[in-house]
């Protein structure tokens, strides 16, 4: 049989967490908490920290039913399999970019948080372009994030859909085999440049992962980009020399990217920003 603490009862604990103790009761409890007490531990073994945290805040501060109904669908969107798949807009139907696209915002500067897995189909790629090696399959997923007041809303970009001005672009990659990964940006008349990873040290393991640096999701600010930019994703069985990644010729279709990087899995994502109203 446990011997209850003479100071810290369950009622006292709840009152303390709810801020309902009078000043002298709180002072007495604080004094007691400064000393060892095995009976206190017996009581607290029966409480979870989550229970303490929920007692700590008034029930009005916790999520209301309406907020739960709003938060859960947003939070679970990433696992929704019925979401329309993303696709790369083919050049003949691609809308001309109306706002700038651009290379990257620095990882630390525009750190965001969200990552969503989308039900985007795999793109078949040419196999065995290099003898003795198989071509890794790679897919780029695009998500839109908002940064105001703090980064908090994310939506999947619908098929070929544009970003709204002010939105940030977040990316996720699916890779089916170990490969060196290069995410490039390319815009009209300029050499393509590596956006990520900034310092590749080795091939990436297969799986699905976010485009992130030091554990922080990388967000691309389209306002900082030039016009008519595209994101190219290259998955190579072998390391690619940095100079080979600098391509001036515009690569507007997957087949053009595949020709530029034979033996590599590729994906292409032109992104469009809605005009400001």
Partner 1 sequence: MISSTPGEAEDSDLVRSAAEGDRAAQHALFDRHHGGVMGYCLLACNGDRERALELTQETFLRALCSLRELKDGDRFRSWLFSIAANLCRSSGAQDARRRELLAVAQLSLDTGPADDEPRERELRIAVVQRLLSRIEDPDVRAVVALKYGEPEHTTREIAARLGLPHGTVTSRLVRFRAAVKRALLRAILEEAC
Task: Give the list of residues 6+ apart from residue 260 with CB closer than 8 angstroms, or none.
Answer: 247, 249, 251
Q: Which of 7, 15, 77, 224 binds partner 1 (CB under 8 A)?
A: 77
Q: Do the Cβ atoms of 174 and 208 come closer than 8 Å?
A: yes
Q: Which of 56, 109, 159, 198 binds partner 1 (CB under 8 A)?
A: 56
Q: Does 30 bind partner 1 (CB under 8 A)?
A: yes
Nearest approach, Cβ of residue 48 and partner 1 (Å): 5
Count of residues of this chain found to bind partner 1 when the rule CB under 8 A is applied: 56
Q: How far is CA 112 from the centre of its chain?
A: 7
Q: Do the Cβ atoms of 162 and 276 come closer than 8 Å?
A: no
Nearest approach, Cβ of residue 214 and partner 1 (Å): 6
Nearest approach, Cβ of residue 267 and partner 1 (Å): 19
Structure tokens at 120: 């985007």
Give the interface segment with partner 1, choosing from 187-195, 212-220, 246-254, 264-272 (CB under 8 A).
Answer: 212-220
Give the interface segment with partner 1, choosing from 65-73, 85-93, 94-102, 244-252 (CB under 8 A).
Answer: 65-73
DSSP state of 255: H
Structure tokens at 205: 């393991």
DSSP track, 21-77: S-HHHHHHHHHHHTS--HHHHHHHHTS-HHHHHHHHS-TTTS--HHHHHHHHHHHGG
Backbone angles phi and psi of 175, in degrees to 5 = -130, 135
Q: Does 215 bind partner 1 (CB under 8 A)?
A: yes
Which chain residues interact with partner 1 by CB under 8 A? 13, 16-17, 19, 26, 29-30, 33-34, 36-37, 40-42, 44-45, 47-54, 56-57, 61-63, 67-68, 71-72, 74-81, 111, 113-117, 150-152, 154, 207-208, 214-216
């Amino acid at each position: 049989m446990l011997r209850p603490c003479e100071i810290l009862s369950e009622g006292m604990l709840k009152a303390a967490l709810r801020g309902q103790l009078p000043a002298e009761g709180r002072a007495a409890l604080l004094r007691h908490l400064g000393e060892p007490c095995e009976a206190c531990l017996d009581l607290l073994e029966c409480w979870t920290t989550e229970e303490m945290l929920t007692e700590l805040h008034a029930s009005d501060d916790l999520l209301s039913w309406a907020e739960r109904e709003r938060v859960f669908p947003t939070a679970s969107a990433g696992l929704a399999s019925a979401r329309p798949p993303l696709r790369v807009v083919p050049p003949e139907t691609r809308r001309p970019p109306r706002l700038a696209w651009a290379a990257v915002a620095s990882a630390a500067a525009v750190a965001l948080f969200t990552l969503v897995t989308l039900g985007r189909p795999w793109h078949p790629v040419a196999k065995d372009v290099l003898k003795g090696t198989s071509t890794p399959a790679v897919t780029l997923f695009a998500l839109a994030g908002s940064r105001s007041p703090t980064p908090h809303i994310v939506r999947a970009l619908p098929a070929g859909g544009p970003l709204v001005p002010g939105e940030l672009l977040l990316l996720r990659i699916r890779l089916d085999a170990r490969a060196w990964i290069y995410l490039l940006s390319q815009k009209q008349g300029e050499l393509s440049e590596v956006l990520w990873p900034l310092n590749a040290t080795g091939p990436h393991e297969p799986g699905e992962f976010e485009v992130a640096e030091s554990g922080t999701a990388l967000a691309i600010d389209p306002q900082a980009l030039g016009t008519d930019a595209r994101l190219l994703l290259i998955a190579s069985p072998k390391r690619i020399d940095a100079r080979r990644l600098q391509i001036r010729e515009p690569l507007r279709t997957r087949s053009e990217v595949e020709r530029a990087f034979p033996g590599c899995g590729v994906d292409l994502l032109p992104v469009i920003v809605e005009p400001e109203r």
